[in-house]
Amino acid sequence: MSTLAIAYDAAIAFVILAASRAVKFAGQATARPALGDGLWAAALAAGAALAELAGGPAGRAAAGVVVLAVLATVWIGAAIWRVFTVEVGRLAFDGMAQSRSFREPEEVDWVRDWTISFYRDNPGFALLPLPVIGWLAVPFLPVHAHGAARVAVVAVLVAWLATTSARTRASCWLGCALAAALAPAASTPPPPWWHLATVLALLPAGRLLRRRGLLRGSIAGDCLLPRPWPAPYRPSAVADGWQARPPRRSPYAGALHGHDVLLITMESVGRDHLARFTPDGARTPFLDALYAHAVVSPRHVAPSPLTTNAHVLLAHGRYRADGESQVHRLNAAGYRTAYLTSARTSYYGLRDILAEAGYETLVDRARLGGHVTDRELPTAGADALLADLPAGRAPLFLHVHTTDTHVPYRVRDPRFRRRGDGRRERFLDALEESDDTLRRLHETLVERGVLRDPLIVLTADHGESFGQLGYHFHATAVTAEQTLVPLAAVHPTLPAVQIPWSSHLDVLPTILDLTGVAAAPSHGESLFHPDRTRRLALWVGHPMRRSTSCYGLIDGERKLMIDLVTERCFESDWEDRSPRSLHGQERRHAARSATTALRRLGLD
């Protein structure tokens, strides 16, 4: 293979990477090709040539498989991002494989169906595998046919490019022109192996420059490797206010000593999804009745919009599950502790999180048997709970988590199918049905004596995005849609008051304070302390990758959000009103503050 043929391969690879980037980030600044895309294209071409030099046709075939895998990841990743605003990584493909093996089909088929719908709506991009496979097949044709085959590949690539949104990118057409000029190159002896190795060495060199902010990365490299932090982390032994501490006693300490507690978390329900806060939101009579007599927080923050992280934040009152949880303290104080849900908690490690938190009784889908939904919680769920709870009349701490409002938003009862089949419409219908389910469950638990005069605390694990700032679903960004959730604490002993703000870190410390149980060290405090520090670290967790993709910081009334995928940095208020993009020194300072907080807490 000649040097010109290798350059041809690099040009083709660059067009594919640049076009995929344009489709993935359509309408955003990051849609422009980066120097990193050129480095990866050159490395893919040089690597294939080096493999052929070392192993002949077999080596070339093996290299072709690797190149195909890289480009397939980019192709699938672009579609996943456009549909879900989630960037895939190796963890995502591991999770998909496990989901297909161990989960009910309806739990995962919606991911496949919605991704296929994207390809159906973008047929040009869906056909990308055709020019890729044709290009990779050229070296295995007779030598005399290489020139004509390369020209044919360029023609197919040009036709393909014209059908995608990348057709407006001049760099893609320049890449095609370069490939066309190089296509007829005659086969000559390949360059020395060390020339090819030098090209491959540019990848780690580029990675180093990427970490230092001197080079924009490739769409391929950023899919396959962790994205670098936008600011260095400098550990300090000096106390910086992020340490967990024993919560202070409030004026209401012990006011509900020995009372049962019902903690309700609703799946993916943001504050503004309720008609109480937004005119076109879901109508929720049961939740409204609780709010009418409750301690309420209009700005309650779920610091991480991911269910597993939310459970850690709630159960421990800390950012991480390290050491004794608040549930352990309730156990030690004589409380029976139980968790009830229609979900299968073995998915995504939730069962392990609940066990580490110290819940004594777990009733989930595995315990209930068969395919149950939230609608069965007031019947089969209550029966199983009564059967499994320890005998006696010790006070009960019960955490109930409803799940039908999780994507793909399931509406079981036809009475609640009111709005149509749009994504947000179906979600609001499911939320109204969940409100009715919670009403029935509460009535059942009280009537059957499971709960007696309980303190009821209602919130959600996190919210859900429907397009705000360009994001969708949850665990994709730390926007207000995903992090601001309802909070109401109800008991006749407590005043019906509004507190300015709160977070998941405060929920269990408040419950333990009210019940007179000494809390474990926490990053939160009782809601009844008006002087609580308004500072929170925000992060989306690791839903698809081994490192977070979006994180931020709340400090006073200021909120920072850094998106490592789109390379955006915003400053706004808690509600994301009038977000302002940060640049230059201001951006570097914001990135340093948020990155230091995140890594100081071990959340990276």
Break the chain into its structural domains and give their ranges.
Answer: 3-224, 261-600
pLDDT tens column, 390-405: 888 899 999 999 999 9
pLDDT digits (tens, 9 = 90+) for 211-221: 777 778 889 98
| Residue range 231-259: mean pLDDT, rounded | 83
Q: Which residues contact 304 (CB under 8 A, 6 or more apart)?
A: 310, 313, 462, 475, 538, 539, 540, 541, 603
pLDDT for res 530: 87
Q: Which two tokens stand for residue 305?
A: 């919009």
Q: Quick one: which H or E segment has residue 339?
A: strand 336-341
> Which tens digit of pLDDT belongs to each residue from 430-488?
999 999 999 999 999 999 999 999 999 999 999 999 998 999 999 999 999 999 999 99
Q: Which residue has the tokens 């895309």?
A: 37
On the 0-12 / 13-18 / 19+ scale of CB atoms within 10 A, 498 is exposed
What average pLDDT score do residues 364-371 get?
A: 89
Residues 224 and 425: their CA atoms lie apart, in Å, by 35
pLDDT-based confidence at residue 102 (cuts at 50, 70, 90): very low
Nearest CA-CA partner of 318 in 484, 485, 502, 521: 521
Beta-carbon contacts of 47 under 8 Å, excluding residues fewer than 6 positions away, are 63, 66, 67, 196, 200
Q: What is the pLDDT of residue 100?
A: 42
Cα separation, 314 vs 353, in Å, equals 11
- Let me know: does 576 contact 468? Beta carbons within 8 Å: yes
Q: What is the mean pLDDT of residues 140-158?
A: 92
Residue 87 dihedral angles phi and psi, to the nearest 5°:
-95, 125
Q: What is the chain's mean pLDDT, rounded?
A: 91
Q: How far is CA 545 from CA 40, 93, 476, 540, in A?
A: 21, 10, 11, 11
pLDDT of res. 205: 87
Q: In terms of residues, how long is the chain?
A: 604
Q: What is the pLDDT of residues 302-341, one digit of tens each?
A: 999 999 999 999 999 999 999 999 999 999 999 999 999 9
Q: What is the pLDDT of residue 188?
A: 67
Domain spanning 261-600, CATH class = alpha beta
> What's the rounded Cα separation, in Å, for the pair 592 and 399?
37
Instruction: Please give the pLDDT value at position 1.
Output: 67
Whether residue 285 has a cis bond before it, omega within 30° of 0 = no
> pLDDT above 90 covers what percent of the chain?
71
Q: What pLDDT, on the 0 to 100 scale, is given for residue 391?
A: 82
Proportion of the chain in helix, strand, coil states, percent, rounded to 5: 50, 10, 35
Q: Cα separation of 568 and 581, whole Å?
A: 7
pLDDT of amino acid 347 = 82
Crossing angle (nearest 10°) for helices 170-182 and 3-24: 160
Q: Would the pLDDT of 417 be above 50?
A: yes
